[in-house]
Every structure is written in structure tokens, then in C-alpha cells.
């Protein structure tokens, strides 16, 4: 398989795609990421209370989400912002899984917390600020759980699979890559969604690729359209923030969808998923009809 990029990525051999290698399917509990299904992971930025999380879990499950997101350990830009409920938040996430059957994705920020978070989560999230925390990545290589690796906000596309290679070298190839927007000179959005990341990463790596439109947009009105674009670009799924009452959220309320907004986003995705699925089908071999001159013989 040749592409303009393979030469630059092939050194990360455990995650690089080669002509004959199969695509990796990552298993978050029973949920297959990177298979035929478009997997939607949805929930609040932070776990704030049992009531908030259970209500959100039931709502997103009914609308078609398969994975519940929610941060128990929050990497906030300011030390004065809400830092998450920690262990209490993990226990609430476990309860939500028991009640709804949704798989759980939640962030782990320190290698010291990996064993604890792995007891509660089906998929361990590495946030944008931690993409190059190699002590954390190495520990995640040994944790026995799949990893959702977010692109660093100033990382190039080459640096994302490089970090994935660190996890794989430590023994874990169950990794999902996530494009969540990067820092550019643009300020109308919180980050700039680099949509080309999806086809490039799908070409150079056998790992699943998902998109987080919430942290890219920074405002909820843009989230549904970025989600649709992600589906058409061939993403394997989404990570989306949803809150029962976004204006009262303790983090990232401005970019969190309301319940109605989430249902609307899911409905509007359908035509885009059909385009995505058509693009994935193998192109039929066209056989050119043999032309026979009128009155002539073959
Ligand atoms: C999050 O998912 O809430 C989060 C903090 O994401 P990021 O690391 O992409 O900023
Ligand atoms: Mn957030």
C-alpha cells in the first residue's frame, strides 16, 4: 500500500498500516470500535453527581450511544477550576454502567492512578495535555484495558502514532486515536478541527480513529455539523459532551449539547453514515464491454 505519507509513519511499526495487515478492532467492554458500526461515546465533561450522570446515561443510551463518557479526574487549565470527584466519580460511572449497560470511558491523568481507573473503566482516555506523558503511556501499555489516545493540541499527525507506538511497545495494541482539534491562529472556535487527520490516520495506521467535535468547536451550535463531517470523512465514531443543564455545568458547558441537541445530532447523522458506509464498501471491478463492430465478427 503506497501513499504520500507511509514513509514517514512506517517507523512506528506496531501501529502502522501495511498492505496486508488487518484493521484493529478495539473492544471497550462488548463494544467494537473500528468495525462496521459508528460508535458514539457521549456524556458530560465531568461527573458531577449520581443524578446528573444517570440521567445523562439513560438519555444518550436511548438515543443510540454505546459508550458513556465522564471525567472523574479533570485536567483543568486553571488550578482554581473544578478538578473532578476522583474515586467517587469512578463509583458513579460504575453504577451508570450497571444500570444502562453502556461501556465507560474516562480520563486518567497520572500513571499512579492507572490501576485504579482500570478497575472502573472499559476504555482509558489520555487527554490532549498528556499525549506525550511517556510514564503514563508506558503504564497504560501494561494495564490490560484499551486506551483512547487524544491528539495533543500542538501535536503533528506524526506525533500521535508515535505516542501510540509507546503504548504498543509496552504491550498494549488496543488503542483508539482521537482527533480533538489543534491550536491555530483562529479564535472563533476553541480549537481547529483538523478533519484531514481522519483519512490520513486511517491510511497510515490500522488503529480506529474517532473525532471529538466538542473540544474542537468550543460552542455547542457547531458540534452537530462537525460530527456529520467526521462521519463523512470516515471516522469510526465520536466523543461528544452532553449535559442535562449545560448552563450549570461545572466544566465545558458552552460546548455541551442539551439532551434535545444530542437527539437532533444523532438523527441528522443518518445520511452521513450512509455516505460513510458506501465509501467503505469495496469498489466493484468494472468489466469493460467488448465492442463489436456492426456487421463484423469478433
Ligand atoms: C475532555 O474530554 O473532557 C478533555 C479534557 O479533553 P481534551 O483532553 O481533549 O481537552
Ligand atoms: Mn471537556
Q: Which phi and psi (to 5°) does residue 144 adopt? A: 75, 10
Res. 295: pLDDT tops 70: no
pLDDT of residue 65: 98
If phi over 0 gives left and psi between -120 and 50 gives alpha, with beta otherwise, what is residue 218?
Answer: left
DSSP per position, 10-28: TTSTTTB--TTPPPP-EEE
Is 128 a pocket residue for ligand 1 (Cβ < 6 Å)? Answer: yes
Using the atom order of ligand 1, give the atom closest to the CA of residue 129: 8
Instruction: Return the number of other C-beta atoms located less than 10 Å from residue 171's C-beta.
Output: 12
CA of 29 to the centre of ligand 2 (A): 23
Which pLDDT score, from 0 to 100, does residue 285 have?
62
Cell of 68: 458513556
Q: Could you tell me if the CB of 242 is within 6 A of ligand 1?
A: no
**What is the domain count for the chain?**
1
Distance (Å, rounded) from C-alpha 109 to C-alpha 140? 11
Give dist(CA 213, CA 125) in Å, integer: 16
Please give the mean pLDDT across all residues of the chain: 94
Hey, whose CA ends up nearest to atom 9 of ligand 1?
A: 128
CA 23 / ligand 1 centre spacing (Å): 26
Please tell me the distance between residue 41's alpha carbon and the centre of ligand 2 in angstroms. Answer: 13
What's the CA gap between 38 and 65, in Å, rounded?
Answer: 10
**pLDDT score, position 77:** 83
Closest C-alpha residue for ligand 1 atom 10 = 128
Instruction: Give the ligand with the smallest distance to the CA of 190.
Output: 1
Note the pLDDT of residue 10.
87
Residues 176-214 have pLDDT tens digits of: 999 999 999 999 999 999 999 999 999 999 999 999 999
Q: Is the CB of 127 under 6 A from ligand 1?
A: yes
**Is the pLDDT at 292 greater than 70, yes or no?**
no
* pLDDT at res. 282: 72
Q: In this predicted model, what pLDDT tens digit does every residue of 67-101 receive, in sequence order?
A: 999 999 998 888 899 999 999 999 999 999 999 99
* 20-24, 73-77, 235-239, range with the lowest pLDDT: 73-77
The closest of 63, 122, 70 to 92, measured between CA atoms, is 70
**Cβ–Cβ < 8 Å for 40, 238:** yes
5 within some domain: no
- Residue 289: predicted pLDDT: 64
Q: Give the rounded percent of residues in the chain with a pLDDT score beyond 70.
A: 94
Q: Does residue 93 lie within any of the structural domains?
A: yes
Question: Which ligand is closest to the CA of 75, given by its number?
Answer: 1
Task: Using the atom order of ligand 1, give the atom closest to the CA of residue 212.
Answer: 9
C-alpha 38 to ligand 1 mean position (Å): 21
- With 0-12 / 13-18 / 19 or more C-beta atoms within 10 angstroms meaning exposed / middle / buried, residue 92 is buried
Is residue 8, in this structure, part of any structural domain at all? no
Which domain covers residue 187, as residue numbers?
Answer: 13-287
113-119 LR contacts (CB < 8 Å, sep 24+): 113/73, 114/139, 114/140, 114/143, 115/143, 116/87, 116/90, 117/72, 117/73, 117/90, 118/143, 118/144, 118/145, 119/90
Residue 26 neighbours by CB distance under 10 Å: 22
Interval 48-75 mean pLDDT: 97
297 found inside a domain: no
Ligand 1 atom nearest residue 181's Cα: 9
pLDDT at 2 over 80: no
Residue 179 in any domain: the answer is yes
CATH of the domain at 260: 3.20.20.70
Q: 146: which DSSP letter?
A: -
Ligand 1 atom closest to Cα of residue 46: 3
Give 46's strand partners.
71
150: in domain: yes
Per-residue pLDDT reduced to its tens digit, 245-285: 999 999 999 999 999 999 999 999 999 999 999 988 776 66
Choose one of 127, 183, 189, 223 to mutate for the ligand 1 pocket test, by most ligand atoms within 8 angstroms of C-beta: 127
213 CB near ligand 1 (under 6 Å): no
Any atom of ligand 1 within 6 Å of the Cβ of 151 = no
Whether pLDDT at 158 is above 70 = yes
- Establish if 293 belongs to a structural domain: no
- Dihedral-angle region of residue 183 (phi above 0 means left; psi in -120 to 50 means alpha; beta otherwise): beta
* Domain contains 2: no
Q: How confident is the model at residue 60 (pLDDT cuts 50, 70, 90)?
A: very high
Amino acid at each position: 500500500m503506497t501513499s504520500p505519507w507511509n514513509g514517514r509513519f512506517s517507523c512506528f511499526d506496531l501501529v502502522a498500516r501495511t498492505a496486508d495487515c488487518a484493521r484493529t478492532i478495539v473492544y471497550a467492554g462488548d463494544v467494537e470500535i473500528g468495525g462496521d458500526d459508528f460508535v458514539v461515546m457521549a456524556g458530560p465533561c465531568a461527573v458531577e453527581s449520581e443524578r446528573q450522570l444517570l440521567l445523562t446515561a439513560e438519555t444518550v443510551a436511548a438515543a443510540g450511544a454505546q459508550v458513556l463518557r465522564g471525567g472523574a479526574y479533570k485536567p483543568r487549565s486553571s488550578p482554581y477550576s473544578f478538578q473532578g470527584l476522583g474515586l467517587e466519580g469512578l463509583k458513579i460511572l460504575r453504577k451508570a454502567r450497571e444500570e444502562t449497560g453502556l461501556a465507560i470511558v474516562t480520563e486518567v491523568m497520572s500513571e499512579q492512578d492507572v490501576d485504579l481507573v482500570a478497575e472502573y473503566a472499559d476504555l482509558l482516555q489520555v487527554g490532549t495535555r498528556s499525549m506525550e506523558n511517556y510514564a503514563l503511556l508506558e503504564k497504560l501499555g501494561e494495564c490490560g484495558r484499551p486506551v483512547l489516545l487524544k491528539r495533543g493540541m500542538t501535536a503533528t499527525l506524526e506525533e500521535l502514532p508515535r505516542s501510540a507506538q509507546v503504548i504498543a511497545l509496552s504491550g498494549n495494541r488496543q488503542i483508539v486515536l482521537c482527533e480533538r482539534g489543534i491550536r491555530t491562529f483562529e479564535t472563533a472556535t476553541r480549537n481547529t478541527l483538523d478533519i484531514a487527520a481522519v483519512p490520513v490516520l486511517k491510511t497510515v495506521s490500522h488503529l480506529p480513529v474517532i473525532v471529538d467535535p466538542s473540544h474542537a468547536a468550543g460552542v455547542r451550535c457547531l458540534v452537530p455539523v462537525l460530527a456529520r463531517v467526521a462521519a463523512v470523512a470516515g471516522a469510526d465514531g465520536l466523543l461528544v459532551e452532553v449535559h442535562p443543564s449545560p448552563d450549570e455545568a461545572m466544566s465545558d458547558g458552552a460546548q455541551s449539547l442539551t439532551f434535545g441537541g444530542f437527539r437532533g445530532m444523532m438523527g441528522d447523522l443518518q445520511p452521513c453514515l450512509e455516505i460513510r458506509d458506501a465509501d467503505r464498501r469495496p469498489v466493484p471491478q468494472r468489466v469493460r464491454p467488448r465492442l463489436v463492430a456492426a456487421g463484423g465478427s469478433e
